[in-house]
Amino acid sequence: MVSTATKIGTFDFDNCLMNAAGVYCMTREELADIDASAAGSFVTKTGTLNARAGNPEPRYVDTSLGSINSMGLPNHGFQYYLDFVTELQNTPNSKNHFLSLVGMSEEETHTILKAVQDSDYQGLVELNLSCPNVPGKPQIAYDFETTEKLLKDIFAYFTKPLGVKLPPYFDIAHFDRAAAVFNQFPLAFVNCINSIGNGLVIEDETVVIKPKHGFGGIGGDYIKPTALANVHAFYQRLNPTIPIIGTGGVKTGRDAFEHILCGASMVQLGTVLHQEGPAVFERITNELKAIMTEKGYESLDDFRGKLQYLD
Ligand code: RRO
């Protein structure tokens, strides 16, 4: 029997496919729809200390090759998502879930994580170090010193399973530097990649989204090669105890297969989930299983990280 089951640390998942944070995860109703689908898990919209309305609309647009967004972190506040994942965790046969979080300042991030530490939630936490769309706030993970200090401060009190959502890096020196930072900490996972920040899409003579004069995070087909490179670069560099979640440009079983070949233990769907809805999980799972069957692979372990080189 071909299986797409996977593990992140001690957490088991029947399927390696799930949503990417930001897509189909703003409300309990959307999250419940993902939970009821063929997805192996869900991650919540990144929750901040207080609820946020986000940036003015239009703030998300699909294009023929993907998407651009500048949502600006709209969310119901972290407690809304913490309550929901805690409620589900206490339901018999519940899937395991990911709670995505970040503060609007370091202090807020600590306030949120201390509340999670003191809560009954026992699941996975994803710290979003890579939101590209809040005016005046650079992506945290592009500043290695700030990132190192933040993680050091967090792991001084936080003992629950915590991973990080990373922006794409584009230089080998940055892969080396970033991995040297992340290898110092007992991370539950790293997730590569968030959208490619601050792209620009134009129709006729005008930008297509309103915030930041049209600048926004790019997803979909445009970003698959960058996502694969980041997954594989971290697979080559991180301690083998840190699993990798692959996100970016997945719209077919073949794309998911490539992420796993590069080293991903779990694969997230963003733009394609926005375009097709939760039924996409069944389609892509079936496509991935068909490829595995054709190649004689029974589990992800049979090919994870086994990308072949030309020398
Ligand atoms: O809400 C957003 O604008 C957003 C976030 Br927090 C993120 O991490 N990535 C993204 O593309 N958009």
So what's the pLDDT on residue 287?
A: 99
Whether residue 92 lies inside any domain: the answer is yes
SS3 content of the chain, % helix, strand, coil (to 5): 35, 20, 45
**Residue 193 to residue 166: CA distance in whole angstroms:** 5
Q: Specify the amino acid at residue 208.
A: V
Strands 124-128 and 66-69: unpaired
So what's the pLDDT on residue 160?
A: 98
So what's the pLDDT on residue 219?
A: 98
Higher pLDDT, 256 or 137: 256
In angstroms, how far is CA 170 from the centroid of its own chain?
A: 18
Q: What's the maximum distance between 2 C-alpha atoms anywhere in the chain?
A: 54
Domain of residue 235: give its range: 6-57+74-198+220-302
Q: What is the pLDDT of residues 221-279, one digit of tens each?
A: 999 999 999 999 999 999 999 999 999 999 999 999 999 999 999 999 999 999 999 99
Q: What integer is the mean pLDDT of 171-177? A: 98
Strand partners of residue 245: 191, 266
**Residue 95 to residue 285: CA distance in whole angstroms:** 17
Q: Give me 50's structure tokens.
A: 């207080």
Whether residue 307 lies inside any domain: the answer is no
The single-letter DSSP state of residue 75 is B
Whether residue 14 lies inside any domain: the answer is yes
So what's the pLDDT on residue 82?
A: 98
Strand partners of residue 61: 68
Whether residue 207 lies inside any domain: the answer is no
pLDDT, mean over the chain: 98
So what's the pLDDT on residue 165?
A: 98
Alpha-carbon radius of gyration of the chain: 18
Whether residue 138 lies inside any domain: the answer is yes
So what's the pLDDT on residue 217?
A: 98
> Is 262 one of the catalytic residues?
no
Q: Whose CA is nearest to atom 1 of ligand 1?
A: 73
**Residue 187 to residue 242: CA distance in whole angstroms:** 6
> Is 252 in a helix, a strand, or coil?
coil
Whether residue 206 lies inside any domain: the answer is no
So what's the pLDDT on residue 98?
A: 99
Give, for ligand 1, the residue of 76, 131, 140, 245 to mutate: max count of ligand atoms closer than 8 Å to Cβ: 131
220: left (phi over 0), alpha (psi -120 to 50) or beta: left
Q: How many domains are contained in the chain?
A: 1
How many angstroms is it from 3 CA to the middle of ligand 1? 32
* Banded model confidence at residue 128, pLDDT cuts 50, 70, 90: very high
So what's the pLDDT on residue 238?
A: 99
**Which helix or strand (DSSP H or E) is residue 235 part of?**
helix 224-237
Q: Ligand 1: residues within 6 Å at CB? A: 22, 46, 69-73, 128, 130-133, 194-195, 217
Whether residue 48 lies inside any domain: the answer is yes
Do 271 and 220 contact (CB within 8 A), yes or no?
yes
Q: What is the pLDDT of residues 41-66, one digit of tens each?
A: 999 999 999 999 999 999 999 999 99
This model's pTM is above 0.75: yes
The single-letter DSSP state of residue 135 is T
So what's the pLDDT on residue 306?
A: 98
How many angstroms is it from 133 CA to the middle of ligand 1? 6
* Banded model confidence at residue 288, pLDDT cuts 50, 70, 90: very high
So what's the pLDDT on residue 194?
A: 98
- Angle at which helices 224-237 and 253-261 cross, to 10°: 30
Strands 196-200 and 215-220: antiparallel
Here the CATH number for the domain that contains residue 179 is: 3.20.20.70
Q: What integer is the mean pLDDT of 68-91? A: 98
The single-letter DSSP state of residue 199 is E
Burial, 136: exposed, middle or buried (Cβ in 10 Å; 0-12, 13-18, 19+)? exposed
Whether residue 174 lies inside any domain: the answer is yes
Give, for ligand 1, the residue of 71, 98, 165, 201 to mutate: max count of ligand atoms closer than 8 Å to Cβ: 71
Which residues in 199-229 are b (16+ Cβ under 10 Å) and which e?
bebeeeeebbbebbebbbbbbbbbbbebbbb
